[in-house]
Amino acid sequence: MKLTPLQQEFVLHFGEMGSRWGINRTVGQIYALLFLSSEPLNADSITGALGVSRSNTSMGLKELQSWNLVRLKHFQGDRRDYFTTPEDLWEIVRILVAERKKREIDPTLTKLRELEMSGPAGDDYAEARIAELRELIEMMTGFYAEMEKLETERLVKLMTMGQRIAGLIDKAGGVLPALTKRK
């Protein structure tokens, strides 16, 4: 499978960005390729298009599956696995945010709670700092949980409200939560 120049450049860019995004080059390239393909692709097409080894493709696809970023498809009379990305970009965003939260935030939140549970350490500043950090993360993950519940339509509306958001926040009733209190 030969790539068009457009596909080629997009694929290479995703490969280069991979390391910043916490995936390796091949995984980035595979994802980019699937993202631009109207048709599902099998592992051999991917291998050919990217010029990597078959086993590398296999590992990359496994990694993408562990991220929930690809969908498996099958065709009548063909035993091979075919892969696609979700059509709906919002679904992709939801998956990405959920997975990054799981990998980058949750373990730390757990660790902070553990540290707090293990009782006073006679280190007031550190303890306060840890508690504050945990509260902040909890607030942010709580907000995330609410955003996650919104259907795409509402989410889009919120994201395109512009400066009107500030006004809306002010108009809304409710108590100022403890975390805001000034030092």
Partner DNA sequence: TCTTCATTTCAGGAATTTCTGAAATCTCTG
Partner DNA sequence: CAGAGATTTCAGAAATTCCTGAAATGAAGA
Beta-carbon contacts of residue 32 (< 8 Å; ≥ 6 apart): 10, 11, 13, 14, 15
Q: Is 20 in the site for its own copies (CB under 8 A)?
A: yes
Q: Residue 95 corresponds to which tokens in the numbers above?
A: 């998956």
Between residues 76 and 176, which has the closer beta carbon with respect to its own copies? 176
Residues 101-130 that bind its own copies (CB under 8 A): 103-104, 107-108, 111, 115, 118, 121-123, 125-127, 129-130
Return d(Cα 19, Cα 25) in angstroms, integer.
7
Q: Residue 76 corresponds to which tokens in the numbers above?
A: 């009548």
Across the strands, what pairs with 82? 42, 73
Residue 53 interaction partner, one of DNA, its own copies, none, beta carbon < 5-8 Å per kind: DNA
Size, binding site for its own copies by CB under 8 A: 68
CB-based contact 41:27 (threshold 8 Å): no
CB-based contact 147:159 (threshold 8 Å): no
Between residues 49 and 61, which has the closer beta carbon with respect to DNA? 61
Q: Would you tell me which residues interact with its own copies (CB under 8 A)?
A: 4-7, 9-10, 13, 17, 20-22, 35-38, 87, 89-90, 93, 103-104, 107-108, 111, 115, 118, 121-123, 125-127, 129-130, 132-133, 136, 139-140, 142-143, 146, 149-150, 152-154, 156-166, 168-170, 172, 174, 176-177, 179-180, 183
